[in-house]
């Protein structure tokens, strides 16, 4: 691509690499405009309308947003999603970090095999994971309670007792730590060995080396996985929908204990045809995610040690 050459101005030609970069970006940019930005603008407009997908949208001002304040299911869905996020994110990051540390210590030929094994659960489709855990967590015949029974523990009704449904979902979510583990593992591999060795010579123990050397050096990766896990937690849908809302009978069993925000949004859109209201719900979620991410970035900038990249580079 070249820029136009107005009279009297110096012609500035793009470098071939830059030109090719733009060419390769075109499909993505078209996709962004047609499949994301356009529909996003349309859904923003619909959030101010009463729209059932069949009839023409009818402008209703801020009614959909006002309705959210009175809708007790919105409050329940927000509560469930927030609690899940608060439980899942720290657990997932800590467990993934432990797994990454274990992987980092495995050397030789076995290393590749173990990395593959650790990542394999991430290859399982979400729907399959949902169905699998519905059986594993079954309070009457599931393997989780069978395992607990070996220690004399009478397990709860994970899939039907409203008090245990959310912990069960958190347990299920820890199945899929592959991506987070791999990102943290890559960060651990970039920690300069000489820093840890210098700390050891200075008399630092394993915990001190981890806290004062490793953790700061991988803090940017940790920050990244916290943000990504937070966003995916707030958008949780597939597994929960499969487990608790996939058919009419499943929908009746759990009350609102598994009502996540995006599940409620989907119900409003495609079960009740309240597309305008669902669009308003979608925009609220977008704003919440944007605000949380902004806060995380502000806080993260104070805590994250970015010079590690410069050092590694």
Query: Minimum Å distance from CB 71 to other proteins?
Result: 10
Distances in whole angstroms, Cα of residue 157 to Cα of each of 152, 201, 224, 226: 16, 53, 35, 30
CA distance 147 to 155: 9
Cβ proximity to other proteins, 145 vs 173, nearer residue: 145
Supply the minimum distance, in Å, between the C-beta of residue 68 and other proteins: 14
Q: 104, 122, 256, 292: which one contacts other proteins (CB under 8 A)?
A: 256
Report the residue number, 64 or 180, with the smaller CB distance to other proteins.
64
CA–CA distance, 235 with 231 (Å, rounded to integer): 6
Is 279 a binding residue for other proteins by CB under 8 A? The answer is yes
Is residue 264 within 8 Å of residue 281, measured between CB atoms? yes
- Report the residue number, 157 or 219, with the smaller CB distance to other proteins: 157
Q: Identify the residue among 183, 217, 278, 308 touching other proteins (CB under 8 A).
A: 278
Site membership for other proteins, residue 11 (CB under 8 A): no
Least separation in angstroms between CB 8 and other proteins = 43
Closer of 181 and 279 to other proteins (Cβ): 279
Site string for other proteins, 47-86 (x = CB under 8 A): ----xxxxxxx-----------------------------
Token pair 């994970």 is at which residue? 158
Binding mask 154-193 for other proteins (x = CB under 8 A): x--x-xxxx-------------------------------
80 token code pair: 């469930």
Token readout for 232 is: 């995916």
Q: Of 98, 103, 136, 104, whose CA–CA distance to 118 is shortest?
A: 103
Separation between Cα atoms, residue 281 and residue 272, nearest integer Å: 14
Residue 162 or 192 having the CB closest to other proteins = 162
Quote the least distance from Cβ 38 to other proteins, whole Å: 6
Give yes or no for residue 150 binding other proteins (CB under 8 A): no
Is residue 40 a contact point for other proteins (CB under 8 A)?
yes
Strand pairing category for 49-50 and 58-59? antiparallel
Residue 189 near residue 218 (C-beta atoms within 8 A): no
- Which of 154, 207, 187, 196 is CA-nearest to residue 306? 187
User: Which residues, including other chains, have CB under 8 Å from residue 22's CB and lie 6 or more apart?
Assistant: 1, 14
Residues that bind other proteins in the complex, under the rule CB under 8 A:
35-36, 38-43, 45-46, 51-57, 134, 138-141, 154, 157, 159-162, 248-249, 251-256, 265-266, 269-273, 275, 278-279, 282
């Amino acid at each position: 691509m070249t820029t136009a050459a107005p009279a009297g101005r110096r012609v500035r030609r793009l470098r071939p690499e830059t030109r090719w970069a733009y060419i390769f970006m075109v499909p993505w940019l078209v996709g962004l405009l047609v499949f994301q930005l356009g529909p996003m603008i349309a859904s923003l407009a619909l959030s101010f309308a009463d729209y059932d997908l069949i009839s023409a949208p009818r402008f209703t001002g801020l009614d959909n947003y006002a309705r959210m304040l009175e809708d007790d299911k919105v409050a329940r869905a927000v509560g469930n999603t927030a609690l899940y996020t608060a439980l899942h994110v720290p657990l997932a990051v800590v467990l993934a970090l432990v797994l990454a540390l274990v992987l980092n210590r495995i050397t030789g030929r076995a290393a590749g095999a173990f990395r593959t094994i650790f990542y394999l659960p991430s290859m399982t489709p979400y729907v399959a994971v949902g169905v699998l855990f519905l059986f594993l967590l079954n309070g009457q015949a599931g393997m989780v309670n069978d395992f607990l029974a070996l220690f004399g523990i009478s397990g709860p009704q994970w899939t039907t007792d409203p008090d245990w449904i959310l912990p069960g979902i958190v347990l299920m979510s820890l199945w899929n730590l592959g991506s987070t583990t791999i990102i943290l593992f890559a960060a651990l591999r970039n920690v300069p060995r000489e820093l840890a060795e210098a700390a050891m010579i200075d008399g630092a123990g394993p915990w001190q080396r981890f806290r004062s050397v490793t953790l700061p050096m991988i803090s940017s990766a940790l920050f990244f996985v916290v943000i990504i896990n937070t966003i995916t937690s707030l958008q949780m849908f597939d597994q929960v929908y499969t487990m608790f809302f996939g058919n009419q009978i499943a929908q009746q069993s759990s009350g609102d204990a598994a009502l996540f925000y995006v599940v409620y949004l989907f119900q409003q859109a495609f079960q009740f045809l309240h597309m305008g209201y669902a669009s308003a719900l979608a925009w609220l979620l977008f704003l919440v995610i944007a605000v949380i991410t902004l806060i995380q970035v502000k806080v993260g900038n104070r805590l994250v040690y970015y010079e590690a990249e410069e050092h590694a580079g």
